[in-house]
Every structure is written in structure tokens, then in C-alpha cells.
Structure 1
Amino acid sequence: MTNEQANCDTMVADPVVGDGCRRYVLPRQRPGDSTGDAPRVAELKCKVAELESQLRDLRRTNDTLKMHVAKALGLQLDSPIPGAGFETTRGGKAANAVAVSRRTAPGAVRGVETQVPKPTETPTGVEFRVLGPVEAAVAGRRIDLGAPKQRAVLALLVSQVGQPVSVDVLLEELWDGSPPPSAITSLHAYVANLRRALEPNRAPRKPASVLRTRGRAYLLDSRMVQVDVHRFGDRAMAGWQALDRGDPQRALREFDAGLALWRGQAYAEVADTTHVAPEVVRLEELRLWAIEGRCATLIAMGAHEIAVSELAAFTQAHPLREYGCELFSLALYRAGRQADALAMLRAHQKRMAEELGIDPSPALQHLEREILHQAPSLG
């Protein structure tokens, strides 16, 4: 390799995060470099062309990811999901800015809202907790939800809050597709018991305002209740927004508050039923994104050793989540463990090839090169 080639190989384009995709700019010319060196210019043009090709591939990957995430999570997106990048963020009282590897959570930052209203106050003071076994509280006091099937009725209704759930669906889910002749009578009794529990002060014969009848269906009025699912979504969104603004202390508080709402598997009593399972999958995906966001926040704050310990457990439990692996390798590198960071990336690459037959994402491949060359952008 000539000296000129060696010099050119070290002039890797610097990554810059912009409008959701990684862009590249040419590095500043070193002191003493010749401005009239035509071969050098030609080589740089070749590198720029190669990087532009990689950028186009990354944008196509981002668009595909956007569609798959939106479909899986039931979200409406009116702007692209930003890709992985190395973003400059000031953390804590650090004097110098450091680069933090980050992705934006689905629906967490730009132009995404859930379809169900999330009231801040409810006239009836009814709150449902479904991030674990189903619970309900009225005016701050937990109420008895009765027998297992009655609790399952409530869980099914909460999973579709604001939307009617037909009697036929309730019967099918409660009795596994084979309801006995007495099933409809039992369902009416469950609904009547729940109405009394949720509105203990409702006058006789006054229409229910929380658990309403809609034709041959029932619904929970979203204007009259609060659900911990919505509070978790709000906290996770606030965490990603704070991290995006460069406020990791606020981000950590928001992520911690949101994750503290989880008490186990969402909708535990009915998690496997046909109509609730998709919502359980959606919420679990958002929970994992929030955990990854929290770990990205720890890295931004300079708490690399803590991030390493948490990401070690996370990646062991979820070995195919590429963003978790990306964060883990970055935390290891920041903690002074370059060899471990590279070993982790290469083990992940081998696992992806053996189990899925695919290569790592462009983001992971880029990070491996950056770590290998101890790029200043990694901090």
C-alpha cells in the first residue's frame, strides 16, 4: 500500500445525524496536505460515491423498518423512523459533548399519537392497571374484581378501551369458542357486577357512564377512565423526547417512571386470547424500546459501567435485538473494554448468520469499524 493510499484510508468520512438518517461529510484537510493532488481528489470522490450508495441502502432499510414497526405496534406514522446514528449529546455536568448511539422509539418523538384519547383527569376517578395482572381502583381505592372470568371480561374491555367489544367475542374468548347455554346469562351478571364496582355511587336505573352498552356490545368509555398503558406511553415518549433534546437527567426520570408501572406480563389473565395477544406484543415491544432508551440515557450520562451491567442481562435475554447489541458494544468501548466490545459484535454477527442467515445491520457494521479504529466520534 502506498503512503497516499494509507493516508486516504484513514480519511473516513465523519458521520453526522440530521433528518433521521446518517449523513456523511468529508473530513477537514490535514495541515500540510496538498490541495492540488488530483489522485487524492479522485480517491475521495470514489469514497463519497460509495458512502452515498450506503446511505441510499440505509434509507431503504429505514423505510422498511418504519412499515414493519408501524404494522407490529399499531401506530400511524407521518414521518420516517430515524435510523441509528452517533448523535452528539451533552450529559450531566460533563464539559465536553460525547457521541451517543441512539435510535428513536416507535411513536416516541415525531408525529405519532395513539388513537385512543389519554385523559389527564376522569370524572369518575376510575383507573385500570393492566401492565401485569388486571387491577382497578376507584377514587384511589383498589376494588375487588370478582371471579376469574369476570376479571377476564374487564381485561378484554380495557384492551379495547373506547371501542365496542361484541357479546359474541366475549363469549368466544371466555369459553374458548364453546360457550354453554348459560354463558350469556353469566356474561350479563359479570357486566352488572363490574358496573356496581366501578360506579358504586350510581343511582338505581341511571345509565352507566363507565361500562356502557352499545347495541350487542359493551365498551369502556375512554373519557371516563385512566389506563396505566397510556401513562406508560406518555412517560416513554417524554423520555425519548428529553434524550433527543440532550437532557439525559430528565430522560432517565421519565424512563424510570414508565418502566416502574410494569408488574409482570401485560393483561396477564387474557394475554393469550385472540383479541388481546396483538396488544400484548405491542406493549412488550414498547417496553423493550423503553429499556433500550434508558440504557442509551445512562451512556449519555457517562454511567458506562452501569449501562454495561444492565445491557449484559438485556442482550442475554434478547440476543437478536440489534439496537441492544449496538448499545452494549458502545458501553463496553466507553468503559475501556475495546476488545470485549469487538468480541460482542462479532459473536452477534455469528449468531445472526447461524440462526437467521443474515448479515448485521449497516449501523452495527459501521460501529464495528469505528471501534476497531478508535474513532474520536465514539467519545
Structure 2
Amino acid sequence: MPADLSFNILGPLSVSSTEGPLPLGPARQRAVLSALLLAPGQVVGTDRLTEAIWPAGPPGNAVASLHSYVSHLRRQLEPGCPPWGRNRILRREPQGYVLAVEAERVDARRFEDLLREGRQLLRKARYPEASRILRASLDLWRGAPYADLGDYEPAVCEAARLEELRLATLEALWEAELAWGQDYVTAVAELAALSAKFPTRERLGWLLMVALCEVDRQAEAVAVYNRIRRTVAQELGVDPGRELRALFARILRDESVGQACLQR
């Protein structure tokens, strides 16, 4: 396999090499590659590929069309392979097709690896390094994952999992930033936007309250708590969690919350 290929699904599907992006063809051909990238290195049956490409039901020539899409993708992924040679990257197997790609060649895997590393650094209180690694993981995102597969259920589930991890990464990043004592004004602005977008995400609200207290805006921090309390009650039928309630109590007692990020 060429050492320079990178497969990117955290946004519009793309494959790039040192010479630039590869042309991947029409939408259904891109859907074939996206479906294979749901399970890199594993055999994906033709039935699953057909379902991913034609969710409303395959046409009569589905098998021939699938073979054609695979053939065109092979020529792009491994242009030096002779017509009679066995492709090393996109191979036909008795049960279907396999995209023989190491997981680290896929941006989603690199994102998860960086997230894991960033969390480890955060636990070790190495905040500047954690912030740098977590930002690098978020920089891999260019848009919605697996967008080429539409409502194909396995892709929807995997995209939801990755989006949840992205939110967890944002929370870890701002925890590192606040613990490091960086630009609290910027933190307030960024966290306010995130908390407004994800109003039931208590951790984002917790971080926003800490940042507000760091710039002596305790009254606004109290307002954030009350907004979250109302929202989770209306939408989820529950009270805020223990951590958020504890932080709220500290603010009411006029206690410092500057080290709160370090006490999880």
C-alpha cells in the first residue's frame, strides 16, 4: 500500500496523497468507499454494500454497477497495479470486498488516538500539552462524518458515536485551558456558544460557570445554572447532576472556584 495515502471521513469523504486529493468519482462510487471505511481491514459483504449504495432498493444491475464502482476506485487508489495484478488495497474476497487499510490511515482513528492521549495528559495535569493534543484532534474535523452514506443505519450510528466523542473532546480541551489559566475571556465566549448549542450538556455548562467566575461574573454563572436546571427539567425530567449542583453551591457561598477544574 502506498505509504502516503490518507482516508478522511470526518467531513466530506476524501483520500489524499503527497500529490494531493484523489478523484473519487460520483456519489454512489463514493458511497462504496465510505461503506468500506466503516470497517477498514474487514470484509464487507456485497449485500451490505448494496444496501449502503441503494437504500431504497437496488436496481436490476446492482451487482454489475458495484463491480464497476470498485474497479474505478481501485484505479485511483492503486494506479500502478497492472490490470491482471492483485490489488493490495481494495480486494475482492469470496464474501465481499475488503479495504486493506491500516486503521491509523483513517482520520477518525487518528482523532480517537489523539483524544485518548490528550485525556491521559489531562489526568497527569500536563495542561499545555493536553490542550495542544486535543486541539490537534479537533483540527481533523471538517464536517459531518460519513455524509456520503445518508441514512444508512450503520453509518448513522457510527457518526453519532464520533460526534459524541467530539463533544467530549471539546469538554476536555476547555478543562485543560481553564486549568492552565489561559484566556478566560475567550473561554467564556467559546463555552457560551457551545452551551447554547447543547443546552442539556451539563459539563459544558459547568465549565462555562467556572470561566465566568474567573472573570468575576458570578451572577451570570448563577443564571447559567438556572437555565440548565430549567432545560434538563423540561426536556429530560431530571435535576442537574451532583457536580453542577456542587459548583452552584460554592458560587452561592462566594467560594473560589478557580481550582474546580482540577477536582473531578
Q: Same fold (TM over 0.5)?
A: yes
Aligned to 2:188: 308
- Give 3-state SS (helix, strand or coil) of 2:152's partner: coil
Determine the structure 2 residue equivalent to 1:175.
54
- CA shift at 1:304, angstroms? 1.7
- Change over 3 Å in CA distance of 1:318–1:228 after alignment to 2: same
Out of 145, 150, 166, the residue aligned to residue 266 of structure 1 is: 145
SS in 2 for 1:276: helix
Q: Secondary structure at the match of 2:101?
A: coil
* Structure 1 equivalent of residue 9 of structure 2: 130
- Structure 1 length-normalised TM: 0.65
Aligned to 2:154, the other structure's residue is in SS state coil
Q: Please name the residue that 1:198 is paired with.
A: 77
C-alpha contact 1:125 1:225 (8 A) present in aligned 2:
no
Q: Deviations over 1:55-84 (max 9, x none)?
A: xxxxxxxxxxxxxxxxxxxxxxxxxxxxxx
Report the Cα offset of residue 252 of structure 1: 1.5
Question: Using the alignment, how far apart are the partners of 1:194 and 1:249 within structure 2?
Answer: 42
Give 1:154's match in structure 2, choosing from 17, 27, 33: 33
Q: Does 1:287 align with 2:142?
A: no
Runs of 5+ in structure 1 lacking a partner?
1-121
Look up the match of 2:111: 232
- Counterpart for residue 365 of structure 1: 245
Structure 1: 4+ residue segments shifted above 4 A: none
Provide the secondary structure at the position in 2 that maps to 1:233.
Answer: helix
Q: 1:165 aligns with which of 19, 44, 63?
A: 44
Q: Are residues 1:248 and 2:248 paired? A: no
Query: In proportion to residue count, which structure has more helix?
Result: 2
Counterpart in 1 of 2:197? 317
Kindly indicate whether residue 95 of structure 2 is the aligned counterpart of residue 216 of structure 1: yes
* Residues 56-95 of structure 1 mapped to structure 2, 5 A cutoff: none
Q: Which residue is equivalent to 1:349? A: 229
The residue identity in structure 2 corresponding to 1:128 is F
**Residue 14 of structure 2 contacts residue 21 of structure 2 at CA under 8 Å; is this kept in 1?**
yes
Q: CA deviation at 1:213?
A: 1.9
Q: Is the 1:295–1:310 Cα contact (8 Å) retained in structure 2?
A: no
Shift of 1:123: 4.7
Shift in Å, 1:285: 0.5
Cα gap change, 1:225 to 1:347, in 2 (>3 Å): closer
For 2:97 and 2:226, locate their aligned partners in 1 and report how far apart those are by CA, in whole Å: 53
Identity %: 37
Q: What runs of 5+ residues in structure 2 fail to find an aligned partner?
A: 260-264
Give the Cα separation in 2 of the matches to 1:361 and 1:134.
38
Cα distance in structure 1, aligned partners of 2:103 and 2:230:
51
State the Cα distance separating 1:254 from its structure 2 match.
0.9
Summarize the Cα distance change of 1:252–1:186 in structure 2 as closer, same or farther, 3 Å threshold: same
- What is the alpha-carbon root mean square deviation over aligned residues? 1.7
1:284 aligned counterpart, secondary structure: helix
Please give the TM-score of this superposition, normalised by the length of structure 2.
0.92
Structure 1 pair 144–289 and aligned structure 2 pair: CA distance change class (3 A): same
Work out the CA distance in 2 between the residues paired with 1:368 and 1:225: 42
